[in-house]
Chain A
Amino acid sequence: MHPPDDLDEYLRGDSALSCQYRRESAPAPPPALDRRVLEMSRAAGELAAGDSTAPHDSHTPRSVRAASAAPPCLAPLAFAASVLTSVALVLAIVFGPQSAKRVDDAPRVVRVVAHAELPQPYTNNSKAARAPSVWLADIAALRRAGRNREADEELRRFRTAYPTYPVYPAYSAAIRP
């Protein structure tokens, strides 16, 4: 436990600690800083008197500047405006184009199915749909399945499409005859 009189004595204000602290040097803000603060206050006052906009000092958060700029009588109006905006936003979400889009969802599912039924790999235009690594994996799979002719053909197409694509030695064995 703390000695009971330590803090009490200090809080009375005449402790040796307080006396010593008050004897210490008391630095004050430099004159240039004084000028900056007073100038900032004056500029804020002029702005407020001029067009009732908030002071534009960079140290003040934007929200604070906005709040301080509005006269108190405008607060109910601002509140009403924000409520109206919120309601409009909710209505737009519920009844707006988004809902129409939702009606359109069913045909989209059909389109997806149609894509799924398209012929898969090993077509002339399969390059466009396959990344090189995927393409190489397909070739390796063909090779493993013993479909060497198809694999050779795919490898030729692959080399035509990606002539500089590096094929690492380990993979190379899997795709070559």
Chain B
Amino acid sequence: MEPLDEDAKLMLRYRDGDATAFSALYSRHKGPLYRYLLRQVRNAGVAADLFQDVWSRLVATRGRYEARAKFATYLYRIAHNCTMDFFRRASRLHPAAADDSDAPAAEPEVPESQRPDVIAEFAEQQSALLAAVSALPQEQREAFLLHEETGLTIEEIARVTDVGVETAKSRLRYAVRKLKKSLLPAAFPDARPVRTLNAST
């Protein structure tokens, strides 16, 4: 059996009534979790709601916590579920909203937070790399963010996202390939593509 990681020990202490353990856990994970959510849903307001939702669920289910795996997989499993709930709700209310695939959306009416222009505006405020992350299909974006923000392995990403290891690996591989292309213009400035939306600025 794997030794307990520090976070798991903190969570066990919190489960057993030590409130200070929660503060420690929170300060360790709040940044990566917030960025994971923000870059997943690409809207600060929605990210803030989901952020609070994730911690609420963690607090509510603390009594059932068992340190079977790395704490981060537990936390991000909750985050993944919250995010999927959000995308599912959005797609139910507005069928084209959560269609995050490469195919163009046919339905113009989407929720405010997931409108293409709002997402484009979000991406415009980012660097080229973050804009490229934002443009990835949702599953690939999630795999990349889970690895970068939390250091989860492919096996752990598979567990968090409830898919097979090969699927998780494939998603990450596609994400890396696409993102590496976005780095190329920096290495070869002459090849930097003109970004049409802010070309005049």
Contacts and interface: CB of A to CB of B under 8 A. Distances in A.
Interface residues of A, number: 44
A65 B17 CA distance: 16
Interface string B38-74: 1000000000100111011101111110000000000
A110 B55 CA distance: 64
Interface residues of B, number: 40
Secondary structure at chain A's binding surface: helix, strand, loop or mixed?
Answer: helix
Contacts of A41: 19, 22-23, 26, 55, 59
A64 B61 contact: yes
B119 interface: no
Nearest to A64: B60
Contacts of A64: 57, 60-61
Contact of B173 (A2, A38, A49): A2
Secondary structure at chain B's binding surface: helix, strand, loop or mixed?
Answer: helix
A85 B47 CA distance: 42
B53 A59 contact: yes
Contact of B60 (A10, A27, A54): A54
B176 A29 contact: no
B176 A7 contact: yes
A11 to B, nearest CB: 8
A20 B180 CA distance: 10
Interface string A41-74: 1101100110000110101100011011111100
A57 B56 CA distance: 7
Contacts, number: 113
Interface centre among B35, B51, B60, B183 (most CB of A within 10 A): B60
B146 interface: no
A10 to B, nearest CB: 5
A73 B127 CA distance: 53
Interface in B54-112: 55-57, 59-64
B31 interface: yes
A27 B35 contact: yes
B179 to A, nearest CB: 6
Contacts of B22: 38, 41, 45
A72 B61 CA distance: 12
B11 interface: no
A40 B59 contact: yes
B6 interface: no
A18 B183 contact: no
A59 B58 CA distance: 11
A113 interface: no
Contacts of B162: none
Given A17-B183, A30-B48, A34-B30, A68 B61 contact: yes
B185 to A, nearest CB: 12
Contacts of B61: 60, 64, 67-68
Interface of A: 2, 6-7, 10-11, 15-18, 20-22, 24-30, 33-34, 36-38, 40-42, 44-45, 48-49, 54-55, 57, 59-60, 64-65, 67-72
Given A16-B180, A29-B51, A40-B56, 10 more contacts: A2-B177, A6-B177, A6-B180, A16-B183, A21-B133, A29-B31, A41-B19, A60-B61, A69-B63, A70-B63
